[in-house]
Chain A
Amino acid sequence: MDVYCLDHVNFVAQVEHLLPARQNPQTKLKPRRRWRREKTLTRLTTTKRSYAVYWYPNVTDLPPLPPSAVNPISSPNPDFKKPSHHHFIYRHPNGLCVVGYASGHLSDEGGVKGVDFNVRKSDRRDIKVTGKRMKGAMLLRFRENAQQFEADTMLCKISTSVNTYSIRCRVKGSLLEVNEKFVKQPNLLNMSAEREGFIAIIMPKPADWLKVKSKLGGVR
């Protein structure tokens, strides 16, 4: 049984029970630090056996807000006039892109009421992707000329009580997955558009991503 400790205070609390009662824990406990550089491991030796002590980071070292696991690069387009510019893309370092829609502006329209993935001949929900080579993924089109944004393949249509907006793919690649939760609960887009309310996951080819990158402003 080894001891996992966060800091010296915890260390004392954790190991008190290991030591015989007579000893004064405050003065006797000075774990020998073998590896100063790493500070990951020391050994605590009592009369009976030796325990390995693994240190965790000091509390004061922990950041107030940790880095989020999911969105290392996010790029919403700052121009909020056109509806298309509310799309945003999170790109993971491995190349996959998560497409979402910033729906803050829809709240005055009562929020998203419904979503329809059955657009333009095929239901986007019906894609079945299998295998490492992602067989069966749907290929998405993307025209370079930003004016013709309608030329992008449409992913879905979201409807509020007032309007219907079409969500385009914004990046060329294969469509791997559609957010099933979003299909069932369209109001995810109201609550957490940046996280659970994503629309789809797309795998672009490296060359295609480079073309699109420049179009997207504000890479954070």
Chain B
Amino acid sequence: MVAGSEAEEDLRAFREAVSLVPWHVAKDLISREVCLHCIIRLFGIREPAKGFTSLSPSMFSDIVAELPSTGEGLNGIELGENKDKNDDETNEERHPAPSICSVCFGILQICKVNDAEIPFEKNGVNFLANVIADAVKEEGHEFDSFCVEVSTPPAIPENDLSLLSYINSKYGSESWLQKKPLGNIISLKEALKALVTGPLETKLGVNCSQGTFRIWLTYKEASPLTSCDDKTPVAKRQKTDCNNKNTLVACTTYGLVAENEATEPCVDSGKITMTIPTDGFGNGIAYHESSCLSKSREPCSLSIECYRDAVYFGGRYLKYSRNVSQTCWMIDEERMGVTSVEEIISGCILPFCRGDKSKFHAAGREDIDVRMLGSGRPFLVEIQNARHVPSIMDIKGIEEKINESKSKLVRVKHLKLLGSEAWSLMREGEAEKQKQYAAVVWISRPLEDRDLCTLSSFKDLSIMQKTPIRVLHRRSPLEREKIIHWMKIERISGSSQYFVLHLCTQAGTYIKEFVHGDLGRTNPSIGSILGCRAEILQLDVTDVKMDLF
């Protein structure tokens, strides 16, 4: 049977891994309620590639019971209680009713998923993979690769380190330790990812690689530490060197601050060392104190989320209506304008992608009563957590749908899919943008030919604009210098006081205020140049000169 042989193979591989650990250390740690996974990863041993997919915790107990028969032949004088291991009454030496690991809080033991206890007899990792796969399928994402991210309670790395120093303190003098000091602990997150990735790949049918689709496993402690003195889970670690005997160590996990004589050797793990005050018996106090958690502690609860990175759609939009704002504009619960460009465009894209939320970003904005014509204004629609990423044909379909809609208020050009580089593209040329406008202007005296010449002769005219009164309530009162690159008048036949003004300006210029002068706060203005009163009736943006889309 294939399954059987696989199981045997796994068992054998596991036995080998366990045998790398000195057996008395293993027994000691097990008696301190550390699970086998944690013991192995503490010693820096990578679990076999296949993982323990088909091993059940009962098999673990068997291995544990076999421990004295493997490993080095140290006589068990120090640990006298283990002498009668091979006897029949080994039942009490067997791992008792499985208890939660004190280091990983049951995460690697996979004993609780989504608030449902898994009895220890079941197949740990496979069950977990099934649950995750179900959750992912329920969300309905379409993806071709995934990556797993894990978030664990912050106490776990602290537990790792405290366990490490406990081992160092207790067995520091032994040869195996001095030969090869413990340094590289495999972190819980790596170990868990290694465990889970294989079965998930088979379940979901795609490979695990860095991509846009993430599965997030969040482990939360079920109950906060109540019996410890100090609740802050972060222990401050300080760099010490072994020779420094008088180091002050603040060890806030355990609420102990002590002037430390550093009687026990501290192992330099390269970057971080942690010295634990001793109780004179050569045992690390701290680790004892950490099992102030009661014996039947609660395992961590797992919650699974999956999401896709944001997807960006870029293009240019044109606005043909003088009653449509760019984004949804409400004053006192009342909407100004009929609808908004944001709603029209996002309303087509979001349901197609089955995303959660959409955000609309545009390269600048125009008033509600200003049409956007010509080449259009660049915009970005950001879809968060899209379930389905449309193909190029789909995108063409969306574009046509928006353009052919009955109301003809907005039109979209060059719609396409972008990655996160879209942001930098938008922001790049923002300040250097030039914009072109066409405005219908009225002046208080008849237009003369020399006026046309006067205005055409201005090239790169510099104007000073104070913040217009119509926006002064929400923008800071500053004086801004802007440049008008060129201007051109076009007469209207049939009227001597109305004309169309075409102009090209720097980004951020208030055109309406440039025409009517804003009570003299903008100068020079058309009124002051022509020497009469000028008013603006209509404004259209005819071009946004940007090299985008």
Check if B321 sits within 8 Å of A96, measured CB to CB: no
CB-CB nearest in chain B for A194:
B519
Known A-B contacts A62-B537, A69-B535, A195-B519; A9 and B473 likewise in contact (beta carbons under 8 Å): no
Report B441-484 residues with CB < 8 Å from chain A CB: 442, 466, 469-477
- Which residues on B sit within 8 Å (CB–CB) of A40? 320, 371
Is A98 an interface position by the 8 A CB rule? yes
Q: What residues of chain A lie closer than 8 Å to B373, measured between beta carbons? A: 2, 52, 54
Given contacts A54-B373, A56-B500, A130-B476, contact A10 B442 (CB under 8 A): no
Chain B contacts of A62 at CB under 8 A?
440, 442, 495, 498, 537
Q: How far is the CA of A41 from the CA of B518 in the complex (A)?
A: 31
Bound form: Cα–Cα A181–B471 in Å:
21
Which residues of the other chain, B, contact A52 by a CB distance below 8 angstroms? Answer: 373
Question: Is there an interface contact between B519 and A94, defined as CB atoms closer than 8 Å?
Answer: no
A92–B470 touching, CB < 8 Å: yes
Does the CB pair B516–A131 fall under 8 Å?
no
Could you tell me if B469 and A70 are in contact, using CB atoms closer than 8 angstroms?
Answer: yes
**Distance, CA A57 to CA B492, complexed state (A):** 11
A94, B536: Cα distance in complex, Å: 20
Q: A7-B494, A59-B492, A59-B495 given as contacts; is B512 within 8 A of A35 (CB)?
A: no
Q: With a CB–CB cut-off of 8 A, which chain A residues contact B466?
A: 177
Q: How far is the CB of B71 from chain A (nearest CB, A)?
A: 72
Within 8 A of A (CB), among B486-510: 490, 492-495, 498, 500, 502
| A203 vs B542: C-alpha distance when bound (angstroms) | 35
Residue of A6, A94, A188 near B470 (CB, 8 A) is: A94
Whether A134 is near chain B, meaning CB under 8 Å from some CB there, is yes
Complex Cα spacing A52 to B500, Å: 18
Q: Is B207 part of the contact surface with A, judged by Cβ < 8 Å?
A: no
A130-188 interface with B by 8 A CB criterion: 130-132, 134, 176-177, 179, 181, 188
Q: Which residues does chain B contribute within 8 Å of A201, judged by CB atoms?
A: 469, 472
| Interface of A: prevailing SS | loop
Indicate if A209 sits at the interface (CB-CB under 8 A). no
B209 adjacent to chain A (CB < 8 Å): no
What is the distance, in angstroms, from A82's C-beta to the closest C-beta of chain B? 26
Q: List residues 45-100 of chain A with CB under 8 A from any CB of chain B.
A: 52, 54, 56-57, 59-60, 62, 66-70, 92, 94-96, 98
Interface residues of A in 117-136 (CB under 8 A from B): 129-132, 134
With both beta carbons as reference points, the residue of chain A lying nearest to B535 in the complex is identified as A66
Q: Mark B506-524, 1 if CB is under 8 A from A, else 0.
A: 0000001000111110000
A11 vs B519: C-alpha distance in the bound complex, in angstroms?
35
Query: Which residues of chain A have C-beta atoms less than 8 A from B540's C-beta?
Result: 4, 54
Q: Is B538 an interface residue (CB 8 A)?
A: yes
CB distance from A57 to the nearest CB of B (A): 7
Chain B nearest CB: distance from A8 CB in Å? 10
The answer to whether A70 touches B519 (Cβ under 8 A) is yes
Q: Is A108 an interface residue (CB 8 A)?
A: no
Find out whether the CB atom of B473 lies under 8 angstroms from the CB atom of A70: no
- Which partner residue on chain A sits nearest B492 by CB separation? A6
**A132 to B472 CA separation, bound complex (whole angstroms):** 8
Instruction: Tell me if B164 counts as interface (CB < 8 A to partner A).
Output: no
Establish whether residues A179 and B520, one from each chain, have CB atoms under 8 Å apart when the complex forms.
yes
Give the shortest distance, in Å, between B64 (CB) and chain A (any CB).
Answer: 67
Report whether A10 and B516 are in contact in the complex, using a CB–CB cutoff of 8 Å: no
Q: Give the chain A neighbours of B520 by CB distance below 8 A.
A: 179, 181, 188, 195-196
Q: Indicate if the CB atoms of B408 and A38 lie closer than 8 Å.
A: yes
In the complex, which residues of chain A have a beta carbon less than 8 angstroms from the beta carbon of B518?
69-70
B542 touches A4 (CB 8 A): yes
Check if B374 is an interface residue, CB within 8 A of chain A.
Answer: yes
In the assembled complex, A198 has its CB within 8 A of some CB on chain B = yes
Known: A66-B535, A69-B536, A96-B473. A35 touches B408 (CB 8 A): yes
- Is A68 within 8 A of B535, CB to CB? yes
Given contacts A38-B408, A98-B519, contact A56 B473 (CB under 8 A): no
Q: Which residues of the other chain, B, contact A196 by a CB distance below 8 angstroms? A: 517, 519-520
CB contact between B492 and one of A2, A10, A96, A198 (< 8 Å): that residue: A10
Q: What is the bound-complex CA distance between A196 and B440, given in angstroms?
A: 23
CA distance A103 to B442 in the complex (A): 27
Closest residue on chain B to residue A135 by CB atoms = B476
Check B40 for interface membership: any CB of A closer than 8 A.
no
In the assembled complex, B438 has its CB within 8 A of some CB on chain A: yes
**Residue in chain A with minimal CB distance to B320:** A40
User: Is there contact, CB below 8 Å, between A92 and B492?
Assistant: no
Q: How far is the CB of B469 from chain A (nearest CB, A)?
A: 6
Instruction: Please judge, given known A-B contacts A70-B519, A179-B520, whether A56 and B440 are in contact too, CB under 8 Å.
Output: yes
Assembled-state Cα–Cα distance A95/B494 (Å)? 39
Q: Which of B514-549 contact A (CB under 8 A)?
A: 516-520, 533, 535-538, 540, 542
B400 to chain A, nearest CB (A): 15
- Are B538 and A66 in contact, CB atoms less than 8 angstroms apart? no
Q: How far is the CA of A62 from the CA of B475 in the complex (A)?
A: 33
- Give A198 to B321 CA distance when docked, in angstroms: 35
Q: Select which of A59, A69, A98, A195 is within 8 A of B512 by beta carbon.
A: A69
Evaluate contact between A57 and B538: CB separation under 8 angstroms: yes
Give the residue name and chain of the A residue nearest to B375 (CB): A2
Q: Which residue on B lies nearest to A64, using beta carbons?
A: B497
Report whether A69 and B476 are in contact in the complex, using a CB–CB cutoff of 8 Å: no
Residues of A within 8 A of B476 (CB): 130-132
Query: Given B475, B498, B536, which contacts A59 in the complex, CB threshold below 8 Å?
Result: B498
- The complex places the Cα of A130 from the Cα of B473 at a distance, in Å, of 12
Which of B374, B517, B537 contacts A66 (CB under 8 A)? B537
Closest beta carbon of chain B to A202's beta carbon, Å = 11
Residues of A within 8 A of B374 (CB): 2
Q: A68-B535, A69-B536 are in contact. Are A203 and B473 (CB under 8 A)?
A: yes
Contact indicator A198/B475 (Cβ below 8 Å): no
| Known A4-B500, A132-B474, A176-B472; contact A41-B320, beta-carbon cutoff 8 A | yes
Known: A4-B542, A59-B494. A132 touches B475 (CB 8 A): yes
| Shortest Cβ distance from A94 into B: residue | B473
Whether A134 pairs with B477 at a CB distance below 8 angstroms is yes
- Chain B residues with Cβ below 8 Å from A203 are 472-473
Contact check, B516 vs A69: say whether CB atoms are below 8 A apart: yes
**Contact across chains for A66 and B442 when beta carbons are under 8 A apart:** yes
Contacts of B320 in A (CB 8 A): 38, 40-41
- B408 to chain A: closest residue by CB: A35
Compute how far the CA of A67 lies from the CA of B440 in the bound complex, rounded to whole angstroms.
13
| A40-B371, A54-B540, A57-B440 known; A10+B469 contact, CB < 8 A | no
Ordered by A's residue number, 8 sampled pairs between the chains whose C-beta atoms are within 8 Å are A4-B490, A4-B542, A40-B371, A62-B440, A94-B470, A132-B475, A176-B477, A203-B472
Q: A10-B492, A54-B371, A132-B475 are in contact. List 10 more A-B contacts (CB 8 A).
A: A4-B502, A54-B373, A59-B494, A59-B495, A67-B535, A69-B536, A70-B516, A92-B470, A95-B473, A203-B472
4 shortest A-B CB distances, which residue pairs?
Answer: A196-B520, A59-B494, A66-B535, A94-B473
